[in-house]
Copies of this chain bind each other. A is one copy, B any other.
């Protein structure tokens, strides 16, 4: 049971105001007051402190009310884009994508490194990540000192709270204190987060879940991940570790346990097709899925069967997640969506069949095929959220 004091109270309300401004864009104090249910007095005090800290700006045009209103015009407030800068990254097996974002979450620069880092030693991966961060920062015309924090989104079981990677398909080792490693290398506070959580927050901030405070996202990539948004916050299980859907068990087959990853993981689908040199090459370069897509359109029977089987497995899994969380919306993302109709149709069919009748219609299925930039932007949002929450300079009242 956490203990409350005036400081916490102010922190909560400050975050509430700042987040309201971020979500709405330019907004006046009166309207903030209405939305947060804080008194105008309090909003005035908090915004004064935010202005004082340089986190927000005033803008005198743009009062959206009906033209020709009588009284004093509202002063619009907006997040100061230059109050801070963060780096967000998506680290995947065959590529790394970096973005530099400002305090509002706008992307200032993007860098994609199409390198297979899969199973390299930690030091090599850390080198590449460090290099990517530095280059992306330079691309944005900045220096690393200008960056307030970095967030890396990785696949696997990530313990955000402690900064440890419990296990990840891109590392041979387990239980790595990667946040500490990168913080030391970059001499900038670096946090790590599950890539699924990053894209979940991306959708909450910028994408298809902006208006929702509860939501579930399922990411279908090399790893199958889950993100749960609960009351506007990422739901991190006990201990703050992320969910790894691939480990879910679908049933007992003839040769023992059948895990979801064996039915719907990238490698499970790609594994159906080997031998062929061109195909192997595409897989090695991380273009497996697009290649598969082409083959499916050319009626490759084995791959179509694999896609159908994968869709079925995922559809059932989604139904199970819906049974547990009953979210108003489920967003599906990830490279496997590129498998196209055979996959999606069997997914939809299996879901419709598997979702309990009592929950039919509760959850809406949404597919999203954002690019990797969006994942990286989500990682940036994770970093920004922690900045938003942090107490900043003036803890006392502005002098």
Interface residues of A (CB under 8 A from B): 1-6, 8-10, 12-13, 15-16, 19-20, 36-38, 157, 166-167, 174, 214, 226, 230, 232, 237-239, 241, 243-245, 247-252, 256-258, 312, 316, 319-320, 323-328, 350, 353-354, 356, 358-359
- 15 pairs, A vs B, C-beta closer than 8 Å: A1-B15, A4-B9, A4-B10, A4-B13, A237-B327, A243-B323, A247-B323, A247-B358, A248-B320, A251-B316, A252-B312, A252-B316, A252-B350, A256-B353, A257-B316
Inter-chain contact B356/A326, CB cutoff 8 Å: no
Nearest to A253 among chain B residues (CB) is B251
Inter-chain contact A325/B238, CB cutoff 8 Å: yes
Q: A4-B13, A166-B358 are in contact. Are A257 and B38 (CB under 8 A)?
A: no
Nearest to A38 among chain B residues (CB) is B3
Q: Which residues of B contact A328 (CB under 8 A)?
A: 238
Which has the most chain B C-beta neighbours within 10 Å: A1, A167, A326, A350? Answer: A1
Q: Which residues of B contact A251 (CB under 8 A)?
A: 250-251, 258, 316
What is the CA–CA distance of A38 and B232 in the complex, to the nearest angstrom?
28
Inter-chain contact B4/A12, CB cutoff 8 Å: yes
Q: Which residues of B contact A241 (CB under 8 A)?
A: 326
What is the CA–CA distance of A40 and B20 in the complex, to the nearest angstrom?
37
Q: Which residues of B contact A4 (CB under 8 A)?
A: 4, 8-10, 12-13
Supplied contacts A1-B36, A3-B12, 6 more A-B pairs, CB within 8 Å: A3-B36, A4-B9, A166-B358, A244-B323, A252-B316, A252-B350
Q: A4-B13, A20-B1, A257-B353 are in contact. Are A237 and B319 (CB under 8 A)?
A: no
What is the CA–CA distance of A10 and B4 in the complex, to the nearest angstrom?
8
What is the CA–CA distance of A219 and B153 in the complex, to the nearest angstrom?
36
What is the CA–CA distance of A166 and B174 in the complex, to the nearest angstrom?
44
What is the CA–CA distance of A239 and B214 in the complex, to the nearest angstrom?
9
Q: Which 5 A-B pairs have the closest CB atoms?
A: A251-B251, A214-B238, A247-B356, A4-B12, A1-B16
Inter-chain contact A324/B326, CB cutoff 8 Å: no
Which has the most chain B C-beta neighbours within 10 Å: A247, A328, A359? Answer: A247
CB distance from A345 to the nearest CB of B (A): 16
Q: Which residues of B contact A247 (CB under 8 A)?
A: 323, 356, 358-359
Q: A3-B13, A354-B257 are in contact. Are A226 and B316 (CB under 8 A)?
A: no
Q: Which residues of B contact A243 (CB under 8 A)?
A: 323-324
What is the CA–CA distance of A353 and B353 in the complex, to the nearest angstrom?
28
Inter-chain contact A358/B237, CB cutoff 8 Å: no
CB distance from A339 to the nearest CB of B (A): 19
Inter-chain contact B238/A230, CB cutoff 8 Å: yes
What is the CA–CA distance of A16 and B8 in the complex, to the nearest angstrom?
15
Of the candidates B20, B174, B249, B319, which one forms a contact with A354 in the assembled complex, judged by CB atoms under 8 Å apart? B249
Q: Which residues of B contact A15 (CB under 8 A)?
A: 1
CB distance from A274 to the nearest CB of B (A): 26
Q: Which residues of B contact A16 (CB under 8 A)?
A: 1-3
What is the CA–CA distance of A389 and B15 in the complex, to the nearest angstrom?
25
Which has the most chain B C-beta neighbours within 10 Å: A4, A157, A258, A320? Answer: A4
